[in-house]
Each structure stands twice: as structure tokens, then as C-alpha cells.
Amino acid sequence: MNTDTDNRDEDLDASGRESPESSAEAQEVEQELAGLQEALTAAEREAAEQREAMLRMHAEMENLRKRLIRDLEKSQKRALEGIMNDLLPVRDSLEKGLQAAEEDASVESLREGKALIMRMLGKVMSDHGLQEIDPAGQAFDPELHEAMSLIPSPEHAENQVIDVIQKGYRLNDRLIRPARVVVSSGPPNV
């Protein structure tokens, strides 16, 4: 009842060689095996190439990240350098003003010197995108103003800015400091 042995015996002819049918099957299996090994080798080669490509891409991305960080740092330094170069004449004027004050300069000349320095500083600031917010007499805007106090006023409408304690500033249309203001609550209730 051993069928495996019987099947093997059937594949062999009288001289003990394999029959032509089993030889063809063996060749077919060997060809299929060779094809599979070829496909496996090709797949392994493709996987290795893809891995190398991924590693190269990863290295390129890392180099790009480092280059962008360096470029950002350089541009920040250049931007600060430009602002500082624009502020140097203001500093020079302040130094000259202090020297003039030590030499018994008149109050009027000191006032003119301060006004000149304020104009120079204002120009430097506006050239670099800084806009002043001076809302005196305007309606209170919580987006741009910070109410420091609310007081009744018969001369001013409700929510109107009465006084500016500290001016606000925007840099390139972005609020960097709100204007600190005193706001009217309207006429006093009697």
C-alpha cells in the first residue's frame, strides 16, 4: 500500500532511468525554479536600488534643511545689519547733542537737536515698515488699542479715545504694540 514507492517505480523504466514524461516534468520544474530565482534576483536588485535612492533623497533633504537654516541666519544678520546702519546716524546725532549740552548750548538749540533726532529716528523706523498708531480723537478699536481707563466725558462721544498714554506700532501691517489709551464712557450720568 505504499503509493509513493509505487509512483517512483512507475517513473523509472526497466534500465532504472527516469521515463521521458518525468524528465520533462523535472525540466519544467527546473525552468520554473530558474525563472523564480531570476525574478527574486531582479526584485532584490530593484529593492537595493530603491533603498539607495531613498538614502540619497534623505541625505539631499538633510543638506537642504541645513542650507535653509544657514540662509535664514544669514538673511536675519543682513536685515539687522541694515537696520543698525540706518540707526548709526541717529546715534551720532545723539552724541553730538550731548556734547553740545556740555558746552552750554541754548535750550532752543537743544530742542531743535532733539526734534531733528526724532525726525531721523521716525524716518528710519518708517523705512523699515514701522507704522505709528496715534488714535487721539478716534473711535476705540480693541484690535489696535488697549484701554487703560474708562472715564465719563461730556465733550467726547462714548468709546472715543480721549488721551493717548503710549502710542502703538505696527510692523509691516502686524501689530507689535497696541496704543494705550484713555476712553470716554460718554457724558456723566446725573
Please count the structural domains in the chain.
2
Q: What is the Cα–Cα distance from 19 to 119, expressed in whole angstroms?
A: 110
Residue 58 sits in the same domain as residue 80 = yes
Provide the grid cell at 150.
Answer: 474708562
Confidence at residue 86, expressed as pLDDT on a 0 to 100 scale: 87
- Domain end residue (candidates: 128, 147, 170): 128
The domain that holds 69 is classified in CATH as: 3.90.20
Q: 113 and 46: one domain?
A: yes
Residue with cell 533633504: 61
Same domain for 162 and 119, yes or no, is no
**Per residue in 168-185, pLDDT tens?**
999 988 999 999 999 999
Residues 66-87: tens digit of each pLDDT: 999 999 999 988 888 888 888 8
Question: Are 124 and 90 a contacting pair, CB within 8 Å?
Answer: yes
Same domain, 153 and 105: no
Does residue 47 carry a pLDDT above 60?
A: yes
**Which whole-number Å values give the CA distances from 110 to 91, 96, 105, in the listed order?**
15, 10, 7
What is the DSSP secondary-structure string of 11-29? HB-TTSPBPHHHHHHHHHH
Amino acid identity of 99?
A: Q
Q: Within this chain, do residues 103 and 92 fall inside the same structural domain, yes or no?
A: yes
| pLDDT at residue 141 is higher than 80 | yes
* The predicted structure's pLDDT at residue 15: 52
My answer on whether 20 and 49 are in the same domain is yes
In terms of residue numbers, what domain contains 162? 130-190
CA atoms within 13 A on the CB side of 97: 18
pLDDT, position 77: 84
Q: What percent of the chain has pLDDT over 70?
A: 89
For residue 25, the model assigns a pLDDT of 87
Q: Record the cell numbers describing residue 88, joined without a space.
A: 548709526
Mean pLDDT (whole number) for 136-164: 93
What is the model's pTM?
0.56
In this structure, the answer to whether residues 17 and 91 fall within a common structural domain is yes
Q: Indicate which CATH number applies to the domain containing 155.
A: 2.30.22.10
pLDDT category at 190 given cuts 50, 70, 90 is low
pLDDT score for 134: 94
DSSP 8-state class, residue 184: E
- Running DSSP on this structure, what letter comes out for residue 159? T
| Residue 7 confidence (pLDDT) above 60 | no
pLDDT at position 18: 55
Domain shared by 72 and 165, yes or no: no
Q: Which of 137, 135, 157 is nearest to 146 (CA)?
A: 135
Distance separating alpha carbons of residues 89 and 58, to the nearest angstrom: 48
